Structure 1
Amino acid sequence: MNSRSLLAAAALFFGCLSARASDQWLPVREISLEVRAGSPLDFSSFLPNETINAGHRLIAGPKGQLAFAEAPEKPVRMLCASLAWSPASGGFPDHDGADRYARQLALHGYNIARLHFTDASLMFGRQKDFDFDPETLDRIHYLLAALKRNGIHWIMDGLSSPRGAYGGYEDRWDANGNLKLLIHLDQVAFAHWKTLQEKFLARVNPYTGIAPIRDDALALVILANENGIEFDGIVHDRPGKPPYDPVLAAPFNHWLAKRYTSTEALAKAWGDLEDDERLEAASVKLPADRYADSPRMRDLQAFIVDVERPSAARMSKVLRDLGYRGLISTYNNWPTVQTGLSRRDLDAVTMNTYHDWVGGYSPGSALLQASSLADSANYMRMVGAARWLGKPFIVSEYDHLFWNRYRYEAGLVMPAYAALQGWDVLCRHGHGPIALAYGEPFPHKKAMLPYAIALDPVARAGETLAALVYRRGDVATSRITIPFAVRGEEDLGEDMQAREPEQLTDLALVGRIGLKRSDPSRLDIGVAQPRTQASADILAEFRDIGILPTGNATDVESGRYESDTGEIVLQRAAGQLRVSTPSTEAAAFSSLREPIDLGILRIERADGNALVALSALDTPASLADSRRFLLIFATDAQNTGMVFRDSEEKVIESFGRLPVLIRKGEVDLTLARTAGKWKLSPVALDGTLRPAIEIGKGPISFRLSNDTPDGPTTYFLLELED
């Protein structure tokens, strides 16, 4: 072996040392992951799903929040299960599996599910257009019925795959094909999309007796996933290829001709026309660099808005003509000023967002290994600023991705702030949010992977906490609303990527934010246009006029943010997020230099970064009075035999295999409660209650280790007796 090979081998060896330290990584022993009914992880008794019928159909209430038709004034929070199956992850389950899976979702606290890439699954291996695989179609229909029987509503994409329902393609889950762009511009492509809705959504489901598009369970249709013109261009960026598809040139020239009556008028506005560019000859070029600011780019943004808004209206009409009564959305990512204008007429706003995005599963894929608290939860704030006030807001995808070691933060960051913002649906993205067992014989189930939260104990602990913090309503909605004034096209600048400034979106850490069509001169409170203000000045004004409590401890300069409710505190420099409510107290921390006192729960010491949460399980849920508590302790998890190319574990070489390993951890906890007798028992990942590991009388204080006699876990049950 030559010296270069020796160095490469040494790098691989040292890069995987942390994953091989057996004394620090504990193998998960569970095989079954089906939560036992009546166990501490069965939330169905206090988070029941009602029978779905005409009265229990989801609508936009008068205040612009999701509600049931029979009680339009009462907002509801929907915890969403992402069902993005493919053959690599096992595909849609058979009838028995669907029954078990839907029941498990209900036990976990989910009340809505998003079906994603159904078009790809239906057309997998098919050679003719719209020749759906009959077994897959039957399984999807049966799953929809099983979800509905368990009170779980549906969100569905009108189009997920850029291959649509065209036959003869084997890359349906890849970013190939330009159907998402062409449906805006080409009648044949639009007709293909329309036929897809007719043949799938409008086809009668034999297990419900009604077509999904007319079913009360269908709450939302996303016309096409991530189909914004600019984002689609970024997805298809390739070296040496023009940034914008030539198919845009003719309609762009037509649009310019209507706006500018002559080449001279256009040249005066832009100042950079080339010699061969003539408006009369329709030879004006698309921008050569999407990241170069220019008047040409400003007009391209205005053109895109003028294409995307009527495109969404035309697609929406197709669904309405087929009998659909539910909500419609599209353009569910890319929180730019341009896309905000394209979304303003939609029934609801849907957005996708990720922290520490990963591009794929191949060796060499990389992430940053950064904490989301280090940038004050920017991935949450970005989508918060894309919301239009007065409309339902749905996070159709989010994740803090595996193998980031700080991903325990997601279980508190997103649910807590989603609740504070009053968002309507929260959907952590993955092949599926749960699995029925470890060891399923499918390529994407043989190890934890990005975009696959079901096998990850850390992500699952976060989803468990989300059911309490978000859906149960443990965290309250903000009492203040901070509108970001929007005038219209005049808000577009020369930067295609322009979005709401981060020094203003940090207002989302204090109160509700969102876009509002408004004349800035008539804006009583909020963020004016142009965006020349700073959040510290706005908050100071709020204090002066009494909107923000005088005791609010927010200090923008130091990176400390307290919600107006007083329940959430983010400390950027310390890498900590704290939540203190009557029903749940929790902290996510990358360091613990001193104890964290949350009220009832005090975290005295920890041997590493983690998420710790205490939630009351009794009804009513009160930490001060309850006798049963779920304690969550999540550190990190990796696969057996994971290999990295670097010591910081940013670049993956191999994802390894099962069993999953949980990083060993300890915390010292004290509760401001006393009891005649108390005991602490581990709860297995399937909800099985294990023998007590701590028993005491009087004051409640103990050292908690996730290294339990029956194997590592993220859950514990604390029980008090008089």
Structure 2
Amino acid sequence: MPGTHTHHRWTSGLLLLLFVGAAFGREIEMEPFTINWRQNRDSLVHLSFLLDAPAGKDGFVRILNGHLAKPDGERFRIWGINFTAASCFPSKEDAPAVAEHLARFGINCVRFHFLDSSWAASLFAQGRDDTRALNPEQLDRLDYFVAELKKQGIYTNLNLNVGRNFRKGDGVKDYEYLGLAKIINYFDEQVQALHKEYANQLLTHYNPYTKSEYRQEPAVAVVELVNENSIVEAWFSDRLLGKNTDKRPGTWTDITAWYANQLTAKYNEWLKGRLSSTELKALRDVAGVGANELVPRLTRNDFAAAPKERFHLEAAFYMELEHDYFQEMYRYLKETLGVRALIVGTSDHNHGKTGYPLLTSTSQMDVVDGHVYWQHPSYLTDPKTGRRTFSIRNTPMVNEPFNSTVVQLSRSAVAGKPYTVSETNHPFPNEYACEGIPTLTAYAAFHDWDGIFFYTFEHKDPTDWKANMPGHFEIRPDPVRMTNLAAGALMFLRGNVRPALTTIPRSYSIEQVREGIRSPYSEGSYFTHGFSPFLPLRHTTRITGFDDESGEYPQVGRDSPVVSDTGELAWYYSEDGKGLVSVETAESQALIGFAKDHKQALRNLSAKVENEFCSIVITSLDAQPISRSERLLLVATARSANTGMIWNEKRTSLSEWGSAPMVIEPVKGTISLRNLESIEHIEAIPLDGSGKAIGSSISVRTVDGDATIEIGQPATVWYLVKIRR
């Protein structure tokens, strides 16, 4: 009955206000909003014009002047998304619609992650006691999806080793105790052979829908060797102790005693080939062992007191293992298999510690890569109930510019090499997630990086996709992230933000790199003495080498705002915790953060809003400056949540996850588009989750080239602004 429906809507809205919005001290009701990927063919916002279909039509993506380029030399930027586990294998009925949906939002590359998963659909054949054969049905689904993506102009990034759980028949010692078997690939010959075997099976496979093998497919832009895997990191994280006795221990696990013994033996053989008998005796004396005993490896507790020579020797051993693995796999893919795609080794991903030892090896691959998350959840198990839960800080990044994803990621870029970010996100349910995509997009363009892959579109098969957030990382169902992806595609792929005018070079000696392994956390994330975290917000920076230590770095003031050297980006911060990022270019402008308190007016954009925190992005759809554009995309986002989601008292975890549909806090207030030229008529069309108009256009007031739009009703996150001149 209508009356019952109205009462239910009011009641649920009140509950959402109490449960979801209490910390913000405002009375903006959360309202349902669903991104509908199956019903958006008539969307008024269709960004496929940014893509050059079919992908790879003119040949392979290559490297030119240190950046990704098309065969004709035109700059190629990646605006990508991850597909994880079961989502990599949609049915032939769903694959075309999924590919078209991605193209509509400007996505031009998919990173296939956890193809080798054991906890969901996998490329490995089931019903066997090994992982040495591929599942033909799953492979056929992958082939078809890759072909559909190619038709839309969407490239592929294939990850070779991410989540492989070995089985008895693989011939891998202690296979049940290895989890995802990180680390041992750097020194175990059987695991290395299995990595090559799998690469051969997948990359030489003939895709009947693209009519080429993956190694010769121009729509495959990138192949990644291993995911977030470093033996140096394992060393300083005490995961080389050999104390694990748990079966299926998870991702970040210690190795077993057998592998620890093998590693120690390998280390001692390496020492014999590296040191003279006199030097080896001196090392044994320092280690307190006799002439016929093995030199023990250091644990993290030994780092501080370890003599420099001993510490640096062991660091050199682990770094050499990484170098040799990447070089051998690169040679195998390029020379033996003839892979044409560009190769990534692995990502610089642990910003609580130095990444430079790993980068000495990965920077010798074709493309350098980084990962970062803003406040990744910490997972906990309640000792009383056994229930698995999580914790996040749940604070805005705009208040911590010098610990931001921008600053953390900027340490990894290397001069003369393309740089991509293949995983990043503001994990759900962070209440400030609307800041994540537009802020990183603007600064990635400023730093002249080559691509971003947001993590992750989905984990599940499309038949299981529902209108709520099922986990911390999914982007598909979230109105805030999806519409900011669209605005970001326009800003990034067109190069709206100018690259920095000044590049700060950084070089490191090998001795400095090794010593940095035992640097304290307080020196992060750059672990570079004298390098101010303000610098990456003013200029760009690149590593120029690992053979000599840089001199002094420029000193910059700490005044707010921190303004980029192009003048287009500004980061405002203050002790009262009301940060703001502004983006001001001819084609794209944005106010991100506590816009209500700052009241900043840009050349073509200002806002007077009721929301405590929001992101407002205006960008042209016709590549014209905003002042002369006839079609503009306005994305105005705040919080999103699941229906019925309930925070704990500290707002650091959820006592109730909630269910479908997702709800949004609509941005309410006045948006002013300023200094527009020659306006005859202007209208703002609120859009639903399929990109279609919601009712009638919003009336727009115009005075002397300024247009004022009242937004917030109907509830939405994006608008099409049409201007007749």
The normalised TM-score by structure 1 is: 0.84
Q: Cα–Cα, structure 1 residues 483 and 194, in superposed 2: closer, same or farther, change >3 Å?
A: same
Cα-to-partner distance string for 1:450-490 (whole Å, 9 max, x where unaligned): 11111111111221121011112111222322111123344
Alignment of 1:241-260 (within 5 A): 246=260, 247-260=262-275
Residue 550 (structure 2) aligns with? 529
Give the stretch that moved more between structures: 582-591 or 156-165: 156-165
Q: Deviations over 1:250-300 (max 9, x none)?
A: 2222233334435766757x9952x3x347522323325387574444433
The answer as to whether partners of 2:468 and 2:642 remain within 8 angstroms in 1 is no
Give 1:449 shift.
2.2
- Counterpart-to-counterpart distance in 2, 1:147 and 1:17: 43
Q: Any conservation in 1 of the 2:47–2:104 contact (CA below 8 Å)? A: yes
Superposed CA deviations along residues 143-194 of structure 1, whole A, max 9, x for unmatched, are: 111111222111111111142687799xxxx995363322211111111111
Of 67, 70, 86, which residue of structure 1 is paired with 2:69? 67
The aligned counterpart of 2:697 is 692
- CA positional deviation for 1:380: 2.2
Partner of 2:383: none
Report the residue type matching 2:344 in the other structure: S
Q: CA deviation at 1:677?
A: 2.8
Q: Match of 1:627, as an amino acid?
A: E
What does 1:395-474 align with in structure 2 at a 5 Å threshold? 395-432=421-458, 441=464, 446-474=468-496
Q: What does residue 293 of structure 2 align with?
A: 281
1:349 partner SS: strand
In structure 2, stretches of 5+ residues that fail to align are 1-13, 245-252, 381-386
Question: Secondary structure of the equivalent of 1:81?
Answer: strand
Residue identity in the other structure for 2:723: L
Letter matched to residue 410 of structure 2: G
Residue matched to 2:314: 300
Q: Are 1:312 and 2:326 an aligned pair?
A: yes
CA change 1:594–1:223 in 2 (3 A) is: closer
Q: Residues 153-172 of structure 1 correspond to what in structure 2 (within 5 A)?
A: 153-163=155-165
Distance 1:264 1:201, change over 3 A: closer
Q: For 1:54-133, list aligned pairs within 5 A.
A: 55-61=58-64, 63-71=65-73, 74-86=74-86, 92-120=89-117, 121-123=122-124, 125-129=126-130, 130-133=132-135
Compared CA separation, residues 35 and 475, structure 1 to 2 (3 A): farther
- How far apart are the structure 2 equivalents of 1:345 and 1:168? 31
2:614 is matched with which residue?
610
Q: Partner of 1:340 in structure 2?
A: 359
1:337 to 1:107, Cα distance in 2 relative to 1, 3 A: same
SS of residue in 2 equivalent to 1:429: strand
- AA of the residue aligned to 1:586: A
**CA distance 1:671–1:15, shift in 2 (3 Å):** closer
Query: What SS class does the counterpart of residue 183 from structure 2 fall into?
Result: helix
Q: How does 1:517-666 map to 2 (within 5 A)?
A: 517=545, 529=550, 533=552, 535=554, 537=555, 539=556, 556-573=557-574, 574-590=578-594, 592-618=596-622, 620-646=623-649, 648-666=650-668
For residues 698 and 60 of structure 1, do their structure 2 counterparts lie closer, same or farther at Cα, with a shift above 3 Å needed? Answer: same
- Please say if residues 16 and 645 of structure 2, whose CA atoms lie closer than 8 Å, have aligned partners that are also in contact: no
Q: Distance in 1 between matches of 2:395 and 2:76?
A: 33
Residues 280, 471 of structure 1: alpha-carbon distance in 2 compared, 3 angstrom cutoff? farther
2:711 alignment partner, one of 701, 705, 708: 705
- Is 1:262–1:280's contact at 8 Å kept on the other side of the alignment? no
Post-superposition Cα deviations, 1:605-663, rounded to whole Å, max 9, x if no partner, equal 44310000111122x321111122111100001111223332x3112233111111112
AA of the residue aligned to 2:537: L
For residue 459 of structure 1, give the secondary structure of its aligned residue in structure 2.
Answer: helix
Deviations along 1:335-393, one digit per CA (max 9) or x if unpaired, are 52212222231111011111101145974301111222222153222222112110111
Q: Identity of aligned pairs, percent?
A: 22
Task: Return the match for 1:717 from 704, 715, 720.
Answer: 720
Query: AA paired with 1:595?
Result: K
Q: Deviations over 1:510-562 (max 9, x none)?
A: 22211112765xxxxxxx536xx455x2x5xxxxxxxxxxxxxxxx3234321
Asked whether the 8 Å contact 1:131–1:167 carries over to 2, the reply is no
> What SS does structure 2 have at the residue aligned with 1:670?
strand
Equivalence for 2:384: none
Secondary structure, counterpart of 1:223 in structure 2? strand
Amino acid at match of 1:116: H
Contact 2:242–2:254 (8 Å) recurs in 1: no
> Which amino acid letter does the alignment assign opposite residue 257 of structure 1?
K
Classify the secondary structure of the residue corresponding to 1:592: helix
Letter in 1 for 2:514: L
Deviation at residue 569 of structure 1 after TM alignment: 0.7
Q: Is the 8 A contact 2:53 2:150 kept in 1?
A: no
Is 1:491 aligned to residue 510 of structure 2?
no
Cα contact 1:81–1:113 (8 A) shared by 2: yes
Q: TM-score, normalised by structure 2?
A: 0.83
What is the aligned partner in structure 1 of residue 681 from structure 2? 677
Instruction: Give the distance between the partners of 1:583 and 1:339, measured in 2 at CA.
Output: 38
Amino acid at match of 2:345: T
Query: Given the superposition, is the C-alpha separation of residues 398 and 132 from structure 1 closer, same or farther in structure 2, using an over 3 Å criterion?
Result: same
* Residue 342 of structure 2: aligned partner: 327
Partner of 1:507 in structure 2? 535
Partner of 2:298, secondary structure, is coil
Alpha carbons of structure 1 residues 319 and 264: separation in structure 2 relative to 1, 3 Å:
closer
Indicate conservation of the 8 Å contact 1:116/1:157, yes or no: yes
Counterpart of 1:145 in structure 2 is: 147
Question: Which residue of structure 2 aligns with residue 524 of structure 1?
Answer: none
Q: Tell me how many residue pairs correspond in the alignment.
A: 660
Residues 519 and 226 (structure 1 numbering): CA distance in 2 closer, same or farther, change over 3 Å?
closer
- Amino acid across the alignment from 2:472: P
Question: Is the Cα–Cα contact under 8 Å of residues 510 and 562 in structure 1 kept in the other structure?
Answer: yes
Question: Which sections of structure 1, spanning at least 5 residues, go unmatched?
Answer: 1-12, 521-527, 540-555
Aligned to 2:6: none
Secondary structure (helix, strand or coil) at the match of 1:692 reads coil
C-alpha distance in 2 between matches for 1:370 and 1:435: 32
* CA shift in 2, pair 1:693/1:54, >3 Å: closer
Distance 2:56 2:537 in 1: 37
Q: Is the 8 A contact 1:330 1:343 kept in 2?
A: yes
Distance 1:124 1:591, change over 3 A: farther
Code of the aligned partner of 2:115: T
SS at structure 2 position matched to 1:570: strand
CA shift in 2, pair 1:271/1:49, >3 Å: farther
Give the direction of change, closer, same or farther, for the CA distance of 1:127–1:446 in structure 2 (3 Å limit): farther
Structure 2 residue 392 is matched with structure 1 residue 367:
yes
Q: After superposing the two structures, state which structure 1 stretch, 499-508 or 247-256, moved more.
A: 499-508
- Aligned residue number for residue 209 of structure 1: 211
Assess if the C-alpha contact under 8 Å between 2:34 and 2:479 holds in 1.
no
Query: Which has the larger displacement, 76-85 or 480-489?
Result: 480-489
Residues 31, 664 of structure 2: 8 Å contact kept: yes
2:368 to 349, 356, 362: 349
- 8 Å Cα contact 1:205/1:212 also seen in 2: yes
